[in-house]
């Protein structure tokens, strides 16, 4: 069943992010039942890097060699390309909550992270620590 309400656009651009919360929310019981319990993650400090896979108005899907946990709040900064803005490239910053994490099969030890965007704003500068 398709639950997405905003169309996704494939887009591979560098992304910077940082974890804003120290404690993540537990997974909903139905996910624990189907996927197993959430394992704790070593908390990363400072600005982390990754690359987007796709973006929509409501979410961002990206990969990173850094790990985050389900339920954590993150701040994400990236430069949207002309293909997505329809005009000049734009630096944007958003707050988001991690709603999906899985280990990538690329052999590089990276994770694929899905985050629901809570707030999206134009931003001239990037993440600061």
Q: Where are the domains of the chain?
A: 9-40+58-122
Integer Cα distance of 30 and 33 in angstroms: 5
Residues 94/117, Cβ–Cβ less than 8 Å: yes
Per-residue pLDDT of the chain (129 residues; tens, 9 = 90+): 455 566 778 889 999 999 986 555 555 554 454 444 444 454 566 889 999 999 988 899 999 998 888 888 999 999 888 877 778 888 889 999 999 998 877 667 788 999 999 877 766 454 444
Q: What is the pTM of this model?
A: 0.71
Indicate the burial class of 115 (C-beta count within 10 angstroms; 0-12, 13-18, 19 or more): buried
Q: In 3-state terms, what secondary structure has residue 28?
A: coil
């Amino acid at each position: 069943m398709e639950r997405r309400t905003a169309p996704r656009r494939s887009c591979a651009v560098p992304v910077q992010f940082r974890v804003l919360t120290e404690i993540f929310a537990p997974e909903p019981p139905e996910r624990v039942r189907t996927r197993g319990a959430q394992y704790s993650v070593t908390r990363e400090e400072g600005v982390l890097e990754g690359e987007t896979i796709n973006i929509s108005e409501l979410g961002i899907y990206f990969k990173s060699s850094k790990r985050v946990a389900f339920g954590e709040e993150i701040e994400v900064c990236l430069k949207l390309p002309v293909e997505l803005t329809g005009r000049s490239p734009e630096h944007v910053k958003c707050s988001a909550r991690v709603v999906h994490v899985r280990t990538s099969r690329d052999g590089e030890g990276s994770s694929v992270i899905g985050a629901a965007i809570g707030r999206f704003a134009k931003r001239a500068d990037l993440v600061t620590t």
